[in-house]
Amino acid sequence: MTKVLFVCLGNICRSPMAEGLLKKKVAEQDLLDSFVIDSAATSTYEVGSAPHPGTQAILAKEHVDTQEMIARQIRQEDFQKFDWIIGMDQSNVADLKQLAPIEAQEKIQLFLSPVIGKKAQNVPDPYYTNNFEETYRLINEGLEKWLELWMENDLK
């Protein structure tokens, strides 16, 4: 079982987009039972909110239901529960490393780190850029690489 938590600032744009798209991809490969997939925020700004309308529109095009998606802040137990805690930008990663206990530090990764040529690149926050298509493109590209990595490791 591979347990993945995507994290961004507010949990209304990037991390729910990654959560929804990964759930769709693993379901298409009949691997949903091999994964636990969730998302969270580093901040409390949007706790209790639905995904941003721009994220909802992207996910609707992909036939991903957002009804159950409610923004939440990361909790200490998440650092024990999840194998992979993936921040969408370097600021998220820095915040996560401050919050995480020592034994969970290695679980924290930058979303685009497995993408060749984009190792240090951030996924832009469409809340500020209003470019949901670019964010979608980068998330889709990153998810393909993460899936390859997890498959190579036999979903451990």
Tens digits of residue pLDDT in 97-144: 999 999 999 999 999 998 877 777 999 999 999 999 999 999 999 999
Q: Annotated catalytic residue: which of 72, 75, 125, 137?
A: 125
Is 72 one of the catalytic residues?
A: no
Tens digits of residue pLDDT in 41-84: 999 999 999 999 999 999 999 999 999 999 999 999 999 999 99
- Pairing assessment for the beta strands 35-41 and 108-110 based on DSSP bridges: unpaired
Domain count, the chain: 1
Tens digits of residue pLDDT in 1-56: 999 999 999 999 999 999 999 999 999 999 999 999 999 999 999 999 999 999 99
Residue at token pair 């498959």: 151
Length of the chain (residues): 156
Is 13 one of the catalytic residues?
A: no
Is 83 one of the catalytic residues?
A: no
CA-to-CA distance for 155 and 148, rounded, in angstroms? Answer: 10
pTM (2 d.p.): 0.95
For residue 143, give its domain range: 2-152
Q: Is the pLDDT of residue 155 over 70?
A: no
Residue 60 sits in a domain of what CATH number? 3.40.50.2300
Q: Annotated catalytic residue: which of 13, 14, 78, 95?
A: 14
